[in-house]
Structure 1
Amino acid sequence: MARAHFAYFHPFEIRFSEVDMHGHVFNGRYLDFFDTAVTGFLVARGCDEILSVDGAGNGVDMADAAAPVYFVRRAGVEFLAPVRFRQRVEVAVGIARMGRSSLSFALEVHGEGEDAPRACGEIVWVAVDRATGRSAALPASLRDKLAPALLPQDAAPASGGA
C-alpha cells in the first residue's frame, strides 16, 4: 500500500524495554503498537462510542444495550525490516474492508519520513451482539465515520502478506 493512501499516522519512539537481545523491536510489541494506533485512529475519526469513552476521552459506560461489542478475530504482522531502540516510527492506519459485521484495519510501520514500510499487518474486529454472543451488523453511524478512511481496494499491499 502506498503511504499516501493512509490519512492517519500514530507516532512512537522506540523505548529500550521494547527491544530484544538482537537490538531490534521484539516481535510481540508490534501488536501493541497496532492496538495503540487503532485506538488513536478511532478517536481521531470521532468513534468514541466504539471505545466506550465520551468526547473528552473519559471512560464511561456509554454502551447502549443494543450496541455491539467488538472482538479481535485475527491479528497478523509481516516483518520487512528491523526497527531499533530510539528510532522514531509512525504506524499508518486505514480501513482495508468493512463487512456486514467486521472491520479490517490495515497497518504499516514506517520509519519517520520513510516511504517503505518496515512492517505491515492487519487486525480484524467482529461486532458481536451483547445479548446473544452472535455477530451483529456494524452500526450505520460507525460506517459513516469510517467510510472516508477506506483504502483503495486495487492498491497492492506493501509485500505479499498482510
Structure 2
Amino acid sequence: MPTRPPPSRADYRVFTAVQTRWADNDVYGHVNNATYYNYFDTAVNAHLIGAGVLDIQTGTTIGLVVETGCTYFQAAAFPDLLNVGLRVAHLGRSSVRYELAVFREGEETASAAAHFVHVYVDRQTRRPVEVAGALRAVLESWQ
C-alpha cells in the first residue's frame, strides 16, 4: 500500500471526464494499471488541443513523454465514470511536469496519482525547443 495519502480534487486545476470501457478491466476485475496511462495521455493532450496550443497534425512543436510514474490507492472498474485532474507542477525552459489524479465520480480522494513529463521538441529535428507564447501561458494557468 502507498505510504502517502491520496490527493484530493481541490489539488487540481482542470479535469477531463473519462468513461471506463469494458475492455479497460483486466482479469482481476479492475482497470488495468497500463490503462491509466491512456487516461493521463488523453487528459493532457485533450486539454492542450482544446486550449488551441497543440496541433497534432501540422504543429511544428510536439511534446515527447520522457518520464511517467503512478501510485494506485484504490481500484476503479467498468462501468465507473472517472475524472482525471491535471495540474502543472514544474514548467522549465523546454519541459513540463504534469501531475494527474484519477477520481471516481462523486469521490473527493484519488484512486490513482501520477506524474507525466513532456519535453517539447521540434517535430522534424526532435531537438528541444523553448516552451513559449500561448503554450507557456496555458501551462502557467495550470500551476
Shorter-chain-normalised TM-score: which range?
Answer: 0.7 to 0.9
Name the structure 1 match of 2:86: 93
Name the structure 1 match of 2:115: 122
Name the structure 2 match of 1:155: none
Q: 3-state SS of the aligned residue for 1:133?
A: coil
- Give yes or no for contact 2:8–2:110 (8 Å, CA) kept in 1: no
Structure 2 Cα separation of the partners of residues 132 and 46 of structure 1? 23
Deviation beyond 6 Å, 4+ runs, structure 1? none
- Give yes or no for contact 2:86–2:99 (8 Å, CA) kept in 1: yes
| 1:133 Cα offset (Å) | 3.4
| 1:132 Cα offset (Å) | 4.6
Count of aligned positions = 137
Name the structure 2 match of 1:12: 18
Name the structure 1 match of 2:3: none
| TM-score scaled by length of structure 2 | 0.85
Extract unaligned runs of 5+ from structure 1. Answer: 53-59, 151-162
Residues 85, 69 of structure 1: alpha-carbon distance in 2 compared, 3 angstrom cutoff = closer
* Larger proportion of strand: 2
What does residue range 98-109 of structure 1 map to in structure 2 within 5 Å? Answer: 98-109=91-102
Q: Which amino acid aligns with 1:23?
A: G
Pick the aligned partner of 2:142 from 124, 144, 149.
149
Name the structure 2 match of 1:30: 36
Structure 1 Cα separation of the partners of residues 39 and 123 of structure 2? 28
| TM-score scaled by length of structure 1 | 0.76
- Give yes or no for contact 1:41–1:93 (8 Å, CA) kept in 2: no
- Give yes or no for contact 1:45–1:145 (8 Å, CA) kept in 2: yes
RMSD of aligned Cα (Å):
1.7
Larger radius of gyration: 1
